[in-house]
Amino acid sequence: MSVETQKETLGFQTEVKQLLHLMIHSLYSNKEIFLRELISNASDAVDKLRFEALAKPELLEGGAELKIRVSFDKDAKTVTLEDNGIGMNRDDVITHLGTIAKSGTADFMKNLSGDQKKDSHLIGQFGVGFYSAFIVADKVDVYSRRAGTPASEGVHWSSKGEGEFEVATIDKPERGTRIVLHLKSAEDEFADGWRLRNIIKKYSDHIALPIELPKEVTAAEGEEKPAVEWETVNRASALWTRPRTEVKDEEYQEFYKHIAHDFENPLAWSHNKVEGKLEYSSLLYVPARAPFDLYQREAPKGLKLYVQRVFVMDQAESFLPLYLRFIKGVVDSNDLSLNVSREILQKDPIIDSMKSALTKRVLDMLEKLAKNEPEQYKGFWKNFGQVMKEGPAEDFANKEKIAGLLRFASTQGDDGEQVVGLADYLARAKEGQDKIYYLTGETYAQVKNSPHLEVFRKKGIEVLLLTDRIDEWLMSYLSEFDGKTFVDVARGDLDLGNLDSEEDKKAAEEVAKSKEGLVERLKTALGDSVAEVRVSHRLTDSPAILAIGEQDLGLQMRQILEASGQKVPESKPIFEFNPSHPLIEKLDGEQNEGRFGDLSHILFDQAALAAGESLKDPAAYVTRLNKLLVELSA
């Protein structure tokens, strides 16, 4: 036992304590994953060393093959993992094994329900990493030394996984990290060569460096203890370099879990090798579930970058656009230089062409998923649809392709689920329909019953119902799909084109003519509140409606601007009335100008309410309405 100096006891960050508690209580049904997590960390540590050694070969300290060793002691009930990777110094150990660095962690912890089944899913999304050691161990010792530091600067970290941990400085001749798990008495089954070998084969076969286990050697006669011989138990080659046909689905899945720190299988993947002017391999995955920090600005995103199989950096963000930030994967280039930096990546023209090729791969993969696995695609859309909606604004070149992947609620469904694609919509469009109709609003319940839909319902024309906050903004970037223009049914002078017969149009013109007098009276009565008054042909049941001017901002955009403290340009609605509604007929016949004014304002306010807006002067509305009610009952 080496001498320990500068010993101190420190407390875990609160979030670590919560995570530890939850993990131990939620992941008991899948205990063996602790080994996968620790091997994954060891493999990352070796990758980091290999990379840093490119610039500083002395870090390799005279060589030794890079590897991970897993051993066990049945009597002592321990499992030990040892790597000769980058290692940690005292400060590293205190931060990495005492806190959680992910942004948004505290908020995430608040979401946990205490229901173990639900929480185990959430924890899976969060990723548990090193702390998973405490699923099977009641004490964990970590001995580490950072490559390039003297042997005397080794560090020993030790904890029972409760509230605190100890650190001390030790002598550690070998570089890298050794982790000793003191197994809980019920978990001693893991101190077994056969068991460990199976777990490694199952979860870590794809790890690109050798994972060794001691060979079972029987002692030669007269010998007390045989010398340990090691054997490699995994395949130990980079998975993405192997031909697609030779990689099993399970291997792709386990590799995903390693790079994505996810517990669940991915929804889809795309593995490609590009040869020619540029040479690179890529393996891209669509996760099944959104990570808890998808909307955090600083959340990790981007691919793992390798250059000629050497790991170069995590979270290389330059290979995919922001709206595909949920994609996980690796890219291994033969063209980049090993000392490439983030700054260089941002400017390199090679990266631009890789980015557009990889983007296309992702969109193709999603198209395929949508086509072949519509149920899975529904799940994808629930998790990532909002992010995909950022696409048309960011990625002009792929606008049409992205539009094809979008899913909306529509008047065809009755539960507001976003399942209608634009291609489906067009496939069942009415004969002669050359537009894609949509309506935006606050909530599905509100738009579903909007008077704007009356004429569409009458004619059996489908309308997309867009109620995500981002939708109106999205639609400002989409003008057409498959050659058909988008039309906001609440905007401008709705022209149904070929969907209205010549007779309909003629009849409408005649009605409009006959109501010119009423239009003028309404203009005078409503005055400043409206931009225009006209006869509507969108209504069947409601007396009146407010339409938005062709160039004006809609309600959603106004609210977004207001919320961000920006000045919103003033715009007035267009008041449209339904000439055949009994209330309008009554209004037309009203001789008393005072009552005409009151009734007009009531209709105007009601139309605003139906559009989901709040009234500028609600008290005036109530007063007018009550006045009429009194007259009515008099």
Considering the complex, state which of residue 325 and residue 448 has its C-beta at the smaller distance from ligand ADP: 325
Residue type at 150?
P
Tell me the C-alpha distance between 311 and 66, whole Å. 14
Task: Find out whether 12 and 180 touch, Cβ atoms under 8 Å.
Answer: no
The site for ligand ADP (CB under 6 A) is made up of 41-42, 45, 83, 85-88, 96-97, 127, 129-131, 177, 261
Considering the complex, state which of residue 300 and residue 492 has its C-beta at the smaller distance from ligand ADP: 300
Q: Which distant-in-sequence residues (6+ apart) come within 8 Å of 367 by Cβ?
A: 401, 404, 405
Shortest distance in whole angstroms from residue 81 CB to ligand ADP: 8
Shortest distance in whole angstroms from residue 263 CB to ligand ADP: 12
| Number of helical (H) and strand (E) elements in the chain, helices listed first | 23, 22
Distance of CA 435 to the CA centre of its chain: 31
Residue with tokens 């077994």: 192
Considering the complex, state which of residue 36 and residue 452 has its C-beta at the smaller distance from ligand ADP: 36
Considering the complex, state which of residue 45 and residue 465 has its C-beta at the smaller distance from ligand ADP: 45
* Residue 279 DSSP label: -
Annotated binding residue 626: no
Annotated binding residue 104: yes
Annotated binding residue 130: yes
Shortest distance in whole angstroms from residue 100 CB to ligand ADP: 7
- Three-state secondary structure readout of 134-189: HHHEEEEEEEEECCCCCHHHEEEEEECCCCEEEEEEECCCCCEEEEEEEECHHHHH
Annotated binding residue 605: no
Shortest distance in whole angstroms from residue 83 CB to ligand ADP: 5
Tell me the C-alpha distance between 628 and 594, whole Å. 11
Tell me the C-alpha distance between 631 and 619, whole Å. 19
Shortest distance in whole angstroms from residue 146 CB to ligand ADP: 8
Task: Tell me the β-bridge partners of 330.
Answer: 283, 304
What residue number has its CB nearest to ligand ADP?
129
Shortest distance in whole angstroms from residue 131 CB to ligand ADP: 6
Considering the complex, state which of residue 131 and residue 280 has its C-beta at the smaller distance from ligand ADP: 131
Annotated binding residue 307: no
Cα dihedral sign, 50-56-61-64: positive
Considering the complex, state which of residue 15 and residue 394 has its C-beta at the smaller distance from ligand ADP: 15
Considering the complex, state which of residue 261 and residue 624 has its C-beta at the smaller distance from ligand ADP: 261
Tell me the C-alpha distance between 16 and 161, whole Å. 9
Residue type at 198?
N
Shortest distance in whole angstroms from residue 136 CB to ligand ADP: 15
Annotated binding residue 109: no
Annotated binding residue 326: no
Annotated binding residue 600: no
Annotated binding residue 126: yes
Which residues fall in the annotated binding site? 37, 41, 83, 88, 102-104, 125-130, 177, 342
Q: Residues within the annotated binding site for ATP?
A: 37, 41, 83, 88, 102-104, 125-130, 177, 342
